[in-house]
Structure 1
Amino acid sequence: MKFLPVLFWLVLMVLDACEGQHGGDVSDTKGVVKQSAIQSDSLRVLKRTKRRWVLTTFVLKENAQPPFPKIAGDLFNDQAVNMSIRYLISGPGVDTLPEIGLFSMDDQTGRVYVHRTIDREKTPLFEICFDAAERATGRIVDRSLIFNIEVEDENDNPPVFRKPVYEIKIKETVNLDNPVIQVIADDKDKEGTLNSVFTYSLLTQIPSLPSVKFSIDPKVGLIRGQGCLNYETASVIKLIVGARDNGNPQLSSTATVILNILDGNNNLPALTTQNFNLTVKEGETSKELLRIKVEDKDLPHTPAWCAKFKIISGNENQNFNLTTDPVTNEGVLDVIKPLDFESTLFKIIKFSVDNEEPVFVCNNSKLRLNASPVLSSGTIYITVTDLNDAPIFNPPSQTIRQKEGLPPGTVLGRVNATDPDRVPNKIRFTIAEDPAGWVTVDEVTGEVKTVQELDRESPEVKDNLYKIVIHAIDDGSPPQTGSSTLNLLLSDINDNKPRLVTPYVERCERLSKQPLSVQAVDKDQDPFSGPFTFELGDTSRAIQEMWQLGRSAGDSVELSMLQNLPRGNYSVPLTIFDRQGSASTQALVVRVCFCPDGVTCEKMQPSSHSMGGGGIGIIIGALLLLLLAVCLLMCFLCSSGKKKRSVFLPNDEGNQTLIKYNEEGGSALSQASPALLFANGNGRGNGNIDFMAKDKDGVGHSGTLQRNQLDPWEQNASGTAPSNIKRQMLPLTQAALNEMLQQNPGIRSQTENSSYTLNSKYMKNGSMRNSGTRAYLDRVGEILNYKLQGFVDESDTAVYQPRTYAYEGELDRVGSMSSFSIPGSENDLTYLDDLGSKFSTLEEICRMK
């Protein structure tokens, strides 16, 4: 085959030489042949023409090594025989992409050169264009030659895996007979040659397990295994796979396959304890009565690890619920329905535990599903303790039919209740719900009686049904209560008379000829209600001539005015009969009014009041008199202020609620009962005041305070009596007077705070020379007389015995403040010799004998 191009080239040279020797004949022959070809072109399908371009084989090797340029091939055009031509080359690899300047050509000889190394995988084929042009004119003398130059492949690319690392997750329970994963590699060398054909192989398995062996298909790269996976033995398996081609030299590459094993259920849960003993109270529910622990070797918090508990027996009444705690994987036993001691004293619950995922077993290196595994099981022994049970009514509820209007004392029925305990307790009945208070129940017998008349029309009755709730309470410990419902279905009687829906209607005066529609209603049901019969309740001539009843519609009647009545309110008596003849008479008020819009009556304006000129004058006069009185009062107060030194005004501070305690060293007020003072029966003329008081020892003292025994005494400008004044002794015992002053803080305060003093050292011959004293005594008598009116005789007051509230023992005795010693105090009491004018009266009273 290599010699064919050379042989073909030699043949062409011989033909060209012959044509040169016989140029004319050949040309003529060519012309004849060409003319004959044109004439017979339509008669021939194929025509062989003479080749004008002659090419040698172009040889381009991939990855050729320097030196460059290298000869790629030669070409020749037969026009070069007749003229001087220039060969031209263009196309990819010459002056266009992908590789510019890769090829060049000798324009005289037609030799083609390559200038650098070629990568076949980058550009496997070059499509180059060759032309022949006349050298003198540049005219293209022949058709262009398009030639494809193919690069010869060299095994310079190994097969490469599409991923360097393959990582997948597979279940522990997967069947390894089926393909686990497929790896794929590619070779860039020329397809269909030995350089691009490769095979797969498994190089290494990490770890190497005797029970599991993996293999790979050499042609397609499918990986399979033999044996059974075990998560507890190896959770990750690495496989190193390779791909090798058949070129010269052989090239290869590797990839890593990582198999992450997911835990499957190949381990059953096992109970740590098989038997349990519990005590449960009857009548109670319980959360987490028991927690059951299990052990499972599978991966926690996976379906292969999660336990699933099942009650096998002992829960026929659905009293228990056995669930799984998702966090701890423990079984949780709950009592969801109370147990009954009287029916069951002892319960035995049997249960088993499984996984949420079916369990698999490896048998003869083959994984199989275990259809009937041996599950771990346990037993719970429950003892029921007795508690007091609530009484049970039989039947739980009753419906009694009765007519309304039954008189009090009527027996409606009886309720029955029993105690389910083995030792029955005593039961008493009571009313728990009776909205209208109609019934009562006998505590012992359960007999239900009425205490009021039953009324079907009561708002507490719904759809003729009145609900009563009765409780049965036993005397157990603790007491329990049962409940029963007594439904009273009340039938109607004719105990209600028909009434007007509204007793007031309005009619426009222009529409007085149109009848009014009057409606009535009856609370009773059929046949004790409508249709109604209407009549005028007054047969007098005046009513008959003014009103007339028309057509009746069962619950309404037409009322017509026989006259054009003026505006105002009119009363129309109507008598309404129900079907049973029960009647009532009512007055219908008809207002005849003016209607601005012809339909609706104008609104009634509220009555208004106006004040005339006389009333306004009276108000103005009263205001003027009030202003005058205020002016006079101001003048009086001003004049009183100017005469303050000459006019004696007693100090009334003792009449106030608050008493001044702004003097240091004052003794505590006595808490004894106040002295009872009584006004002298001689009246206000003599001003005598009888008194009676008790001292602290309970001894009574009495006397008379005689105002006529006090003579006037003089007062100097400073408000203090002169020293030569002496006071006549009053007919009072010293103990009684002291007790009176101690028991009446108001009198003592007034005496102490007054602007005058009653000191014995200011008394002279028992006479007082200031007339202000008499005014003071008059004022004191008035105050005492006023206070005496507020006292109540001891015989009229209620006697309340002392009562102890939350007695907490004897109180701690606290010493007197006077017992405290003050460091640094010299106890100098000389300042008490002269305390001032405010203490003179108190000093005088204390020195009375």
Structure 2
Amino acid sequence: MVCSWQRNPGSRRSLLSLLLLAFWEAGSGQLHYSIPEEAKHGTFVGRIAQDLGLELVELVPRLFRVVSKGGGDLLEVNLQNGILFVNSRIDREELCGRSAECSIHLEVIVDRPLQVFHVEVEVKDINDNPPLFPLKEQKLFVSESRMPDSRFPLEGASDADIGANAVLTYSLSSNDYFTLDVKAKNEENKLVELVLRKPLDREAATAHSLFLTATDGGKPDLTGTVQLLVTVLDVNDNAPTFEQSEYEVRIFENAENGTTVIRLNASDRDEGANAAISYSFNRLVPTMIIDQFSIDANTGEIVIQGNLDFEQVNLYKIRVDATDKGHPPMVGHCTVLIRVLDKNDNAPQIALTSLSLPVREDAQFGTVIALISVNDLDSGANGQVMCSLTPDIPFKLVSTFKNYYSLVLDSPLDRESVSAYELVVTARDGGSPSLWATASVSVEVTDVNDNAPVFAQPEYTVFVKENNLPGCHIFTVSAQDTDAQENALVSYSLVERRVGERALSSYVSVHAESGKVYALQPLDHEELELLQFQVSARDAGVPPLGSNVTLQVFVLDENDNAPKLLTPRIGGSGHMVTELVPRSVGAGHVVAKVRAVDSDSGYNAWLSYELEPTEGNARSPFRVGLYTGEICTTRALDEEDAQRQHLLVLVKDHGDPALTATATVLVSLVEHGQAPKASSWASSSAAGQEAVLVDVNVYLIIAICAVSSLLVLTLLLYTVMRCSAPPTEGACGRGKPGLVCSGAVGSWSNSPQRRQGMCSGEGMPKTDLMAFSPSLPPTLGSGDAGDQQDLNVDHGLKVSPSIFRNYEFYMWKL
């Protein structure tokens, strides 16, 4: 056995721990610490876990906790390192008053298995209270006939500290007439007297101003000062005197009103009116004393006029003045100490703390249900309390310390048999006759949380129109929980995720109690067609159980986007272009083509084109394709047609209400010999001006040379850029391909986000109108072929070969 002890230190430590644990369980041991008052938050008090023999890793699993008698949080334990520390400000004077001993009693409770320890933390006094005088100044009236060594009682200072910190010494400011004499009658009364050193001369000085300083015994010491105003009086030079300077009286609390406490007697060596004495309380006597006692001015008899309560005040210190009727009157002083004796007039008080309710039916034996503390304001046997429990099954009371009990589980619980218990705790004191008090404890037995909330469906589909009002209600989810009470209280929350670059909570929210789902901002069908997310339902059980449901929110399209005109290939500005058309063209000749898209979808994006009537075009020889946007001639042109035709094309979608856009096309009719074979683009600022034709023969060679040079230069630049530049995305970024159809029913297009953008290497797209030249080859004049041969620039230039063969187009541009 000895070898095993030496070779296995772990076994040795375990045995020591078991012995220490048995020691603490067998008796109600107590730890003792001490700290100074006013210690800062976090001040170390003691290693309570180590001193109790507990391992740090056991503190949390075993529900280590500390309970204070007053329920305050002055001290706290760090469960990580087992250190007891100061949690909040401790004022000893506020906590214990003038009591010589001041301690904080703690009860340490550890479950699994249950252990209770008692800790006493002594709060030591520090010198944090300076001496205080009742008034800032004291007035004394001294006759000039008073002899040297005459004494004048002064009201001393009081110090809220105790011990050496409350031991006061007095000093008087320097003067020629007075000295200070201090006599300590007892701990409760220290007589401070002003002593006359030499006779006063009222004619020389009518008053003297002195300063009385009280210094306590702390380190460093603190002081308090009062001003003494001594008025020198004439004539009546003998003050009344009492037989004793201090009287002590004992009387039981709750004595009847009118009971005589003491009869005082004072005498005056003067004669006549100067010897007639009247008794009164000193003007510095607190109002509380005046409410409790009264004094007969002629007889000096002090009687009770208010209820005396030992538990509130057990000592009264009364300063009594005996004043003669001389001119000026003189006053004699004495002190009456009235000690109140205790009677058994207070029933015990029961306080229930740390109630662990309700109790699970699977709770283990020894589970602490409640902490009970009893208190009796009486003293001695009158304040000794014993507790009992009714009924005592399946619970019992365990005494943990003086006036502290634990209500613990003593036998198994069966919720199906008994779901609640009504317990009565009775506290009885040791007085004669004894007094008692009762407190009821309702113990409810609860079940465990074993059912999660369930939705009626695993998935819901919701349809919401776009452009909804912020905060509108779009759906309500509901889940049912078959448990009871808090285990059936269901709360709802979003299962957070990212929707693109934004959080889901920026789109929708769910009310935690009602399950109503709200849209936090207007939804945009063009930005988000489907919003899919999950809502979680969790009960309030411990641990909580939950389930999820999926919501698919489809955003329905509304007609909130007007048609937008596409950017023209070459030239043009705004929504206006100019076209040159020979008068010799026949019916069906395509003059131009207007193209537009709509960001909406479905019927809201189905576009139609109309030619709006304008002033002067009643006989207009042009029409526009209802769904193609192609502007063509309806008949052969003649001399009666105006040379300049102003065409206003209205682009309209099929939404309700319909949204529109307009484009202006200026058509100039020219003679066949003067017209170029390709139309040109003019800016909106040149609208209204007639094209000026120049001599074709003069500029034809220049134009051909210029175009050829431009073509060669462009091809060289294109080759260099393609060989040297790394592949990048277009200036407009990556676009999602979309469907664009042209047929008998016209153009059908999706939103720009789902359509490949037309980008330029030079920057942003230019204008919103695109038109085709009427003099292009037939393959370019049709709607579908023209779409396939648009001039697109995406890291380069792609040009149809048929355009290079038509030099007249470029000649006109130059």
Structure 1 length as normaliser, TM-score?
0.28
Structure with more relative contact order (C-alpha pairs < 8 Å, separation 6 or more): 2
Which of the two has higher C-alpha Rg?
Answer: 1
Structure 2 length as normaliser, TM-score?
0.29
